[in-house]
Amino acid sequence: MMLDPQARTLLERAAQAKYPPVHTVQPAVARRMYREMCRALQPPPPEVAEVADLSFRGPGAQVGLRLYRPSAAQDALLPVVVFFHGGGFTVGDLDTHDVPCRTLANFSRCAVLAVDYRLGPEHKFPAAFEDSVAAVRWTAAHAAGLGLDAERIAVAGDSAGGNLAAATALALRGEGPRIALQVLIYPGLDMRGLSPSHTEFAHGYLLEREDILWFMGNYLGSESDALDWRASPLLAQDHSGLPPAHIFTAGFDPLRDEGWSYAEKLTASGVRVSYECFEGMIHGFITMSAALAAADHLLYRVAQGLRLAFARKMG
């Protein structure tokens, strides 16, 4: 397995930039640094048919949403992907993932509804999880008024957002709304951080071991929270009856093995799974599409899976 040449160049640029390590700064500074990085590594936002900022009253506060309608929409009622951004439950927002969400909407010809869930350390576990579940329920309840199809809803997210997508699928299992597909992009699924890839790629690949521990500390209120399936979906006692899953990992990512382990666990539980590892990539790469061609490749693969899942849902 070889590091992608574009990823190697990006890592060299990052080393030269001499940003302070994320775990050494205050959350507000980390959020600013992450926004700046996303702006620097993303192209101009692609045009879509419509972008609307919305909100609803969540379990603890107003939850912001951003609805994207694709430029080539064909259905009167659009299928919708509820998307949870990455950022270690501490950084990231609707703007950092605006370009990926626009791209995904256009590639998939589906609506994308991005969720601005509460972040740590101001809002500890299970705040982000509760907001995520509430967002999917709100989407189904208000779908008709938004021109969305309540019978065709998927959940998706990258990194921490992949964790929230997986946990939301677990929470909604056996009740409405039914989820057509869960898309987990280099997800963090086990808050214990014990898999071999955590050691193998602990340093030198942008997401450092110390950063992961810092993110976990910002989100979790206690060590016992790491054993709760709402924080660590991999540790749920039962994974049967879950929606089909598309799981994507990056080869040089501390979280790689968690995605693979989840794919194995879902498969063993009778869940239909598609697993793909972008072997030369590093963590976080869908927000780096101006520097890494693989970002749009992955989003196109996600779009293919969504179109297939939504077509199956109608059949």
pLDDT at residue 312 in the model: 75
* Residue tagged active-site, from 131, 190, 211, 253: 253
pLDDT at residue 264 in the model: 98
Angle between helices 127-142 and 160-172 (to 10 degrees): 60
Cα–Cα distances in angstroms (integers) from residue 12 to residues 2, 17, 18, 41, in the given order: 16, 9, 10, 14
* Residue tagged active-site, from 108, 132, 159, 289: 159
* Active site annotation includes 283: yes
- Contact indicator for 197, 261 with CB cutoff of 8 Å: no
**Average pLDDT for runs of 10 along the chain of length 315:** 96 90 97 97 97 97 97 82 98 98 97 98 98 98 97 98 99 94 98 97 97 98 97 98 98 98 98 98 98 98 97 67
* Active site annotation includes 253: yes
pLDDT at residue 314 in the model: 59
Alpha helices in the chain, H assignment, sequence order: 5-17, 27-41, 98-108, 127-142, 160-172, 196-200, 209-219, 256-268, 294-314
* Residue tagged active-site, from 97, 123, 198, 283: 283
Cα–Cα distances in angstroms (integers) from residue 77 to residues 113, 142, 144, 147, 302, in the given order: 14, 12, 8, 5, 20
What global pTM score does this model have? 0.97
Two structure tokens written together for 244 = 């089909």
For 96-122, give the DSSP string: TTHHHHHHHHHHHTSEEEEEE---TTT
pLDDT at residue 58 in the model: 97
pLDDT at residue 75 in the model: 65
Instruction: Give the end-to-end CA distance of the chain in Å, rounded to a whole number.
Output: 40
| Beta-bridge partner residues of 62 | 57
Domains assigned to the chain: 5-314 (3.40.50.1820)
